[in-house]
Amino acid sequence: MSILDFKEIPMAHKGGGEQDKFELFSRDFFQNIGYRISSAPGRGADGGKDLILTEVRKGIASNTEVRWLVSCKHKAHSGSSVSKTDEPEISDSLKAHNCTGFIGFYSTLPSSGLVDKVEGMAEIEHQFFDSSKIEQALLTNSKCLELAKRYFPKSFKNWTDENPKPAVIFSDHEPFRCHHCDTILDYNSWGKYEETENGLVKKIRNQYVCCGGDCDRILAKRYYTDGYSDAWTDLKDYFTPTIYIKAVMSFCNELNDEKIIYSQEAFEQKKSLLIRAYPYICRNLTQKESAQVMDLGMVPQFLGGLG
């Protein structure tokens, strides 16, 4: 399923001052991925080109410049593919603009007929940037993320909400690491938060994070001695904003409870856990997390029961 909705960019044939937005987007896109803009988009007859790019290819003896003619076709609103009749005179346009390469930049897909037509022109280099390829470049290239945010504001917000990254809160972000093997545990990995306790008075000796499986079993043998038992929760719970608040309030309540005693080590581990988790929860809830919170009870009741 597509992440970016290209219909957020207005149709090219509509007025209102934004009819050039897809071509302007193409200019900014190619500039961000490293091409030099030799001829920018302009209104009026364009002679079969929307944009001309220069690519510098570095060689051992010298550099070579390749001029690319870019044809932009924005058909996302209709959903139609770009057919060979939409690109009637590619060879003539290349000659007229002194270009040796053709790029189709489309918000949908080139038709199989158009692909066959261009691939049959052995004398030219060609590339097609369809909606999927454009989307991939925008979301995997750090230089293009701001571009995606500017041209696809709704889609980008939905994507960032569902794929949260730690907020820049501290000068150095300290990741979670497995207490045994030192593997980094992030939002997308499965890890356990463990505590060991003993006696009628709850004595908490250790609180740590670890991988599941072998690391968990090795640490179990190390810590579950002298009558201590363990409790655990999914580390991801500490990355969910509302549940994080519950964990903070529970910690505060435990510190005020005479029947709960933290060892100095467990106390420092708990503080470290909460500090490291904080950058992950400075964001909106994902849809899955919102549903998770609702499963715990109606939000006002849930929040009211934190104390």
Q: Which of 29-33, 38-42, 62-66, 117-121 has the lowest mean pLDDT?
A: 38-42
User: Which is more confidently placed, 295 or 130?
Assistant: 130
Domain regions of the chain by residue span: 6-162, 176-304
Using DSSP's 3-state secondary structure scheme, residue 213 falls into coil
d(CA 273, CA 193): 9
CATH topology for the 6-162 domain: Trna Endonuclease; Chain: A, domain 1 (3.40.1350)
70-91 confidence digits (pLDDT tens): 999 999 999 999 999 999 889 9
Instruction: Give the confidence band of 192 by pLDDT, cuts at 50, 70, 90.
Output: low
User: Which structure tokens are listed for 286?
Assistant: 């994902």
198-220 confidence digits (pLDDT tens): 667 788 888 888 887 888 888 88
User: Which structure tokens are listed for 268?
Assistant: 């420092």
Average pLDDT over residues 132-156: 94
Instruction: Give the confidence band of 108 by pLDDT, cuts at 50, 70, 90.
Output: very high
pTM value > 0.75:
no
| Segment 191-194 long-range contacts (CB within 8 Å, at least 24 positions apart) | 191/234, 191/235, 191/236, 192/216, 192/232, 192/233, 192/234, 192/235, 193/232, 193/233, 193/234, 193/235, 193/237, 193/238, 193/273, 194/219, 194/223, 194/230, 194/231, 194/232
**Is the pLDDT score of 166 beyond 80?**
no
User: Which structure tokens are listed for 68?
Assistant: 């690319």
Share of the chain above pLDDT 90, in %: 40
Mean pLDDT over each residue of the chain, to the nearest integer: 84
Nearest of 42, 66, 68, 48 to residue 56 by alpha carbon: 66
In contact, 109 and 77? CB cutoff 8 Å: no
* Dihedral angle sign, alpha carbons of residues 165, 169, 171, 172: negative
Average pLDDT over residues 247-267: 89
Neighbours of 173 (CB within 10 A): 13
**Is the pLDDT score of 304 beyond 50?**
no
**Is the pLDDT score of 15 beyond 70?**
no
